[in-house]
Amino acid sequence: MADALVTMSENSKKKLELFERKFNGNDEGGHQSKEGHDLLMECLDALSALEGIDGASFAKATKLIHDDPLWRKMFLRFPHDRKIDFVLNL
């Protein structure tokens, strides 16, 4: 069980690093604004910190959070246990 959690954590970190590289340095010319980028990174940090999230649920949540700035704000305001419920029920 511990090995699975370590593997999930490592995968989450790798995905977060890929997102950070993808959006690092984008401007507002049709791209992510600095504020939007920071909010996205905050969401991904919060998402990566959740325990018990499978890869498919993580992927669905990252797509939703990436595509819709409103979901980013809502997600960050959810209590910790509701974040887990939200992600697992996508």
Q: Using one digit for the tens of pLDDT, what is the confidence trace for 4-63?
A: 777 877 777 777 777 766 655 443 444 557 777 889 999 999 999 999 999 999 999 999
Q: What letter would DSSP give residue 25?
A: T
- Residue 50: helix, strand or coil by DSSP? coil
Q: How many domains does the chain have?
A: 1
User: Cα-atom radius of gyration of the chain, to the nearest Å?
Assistant: 13
* pLDDT for the residue 22: 65
Domain of residue 52, residue span = 2-88
pTM above threshold 0.85:
no
Residue type, 60: K
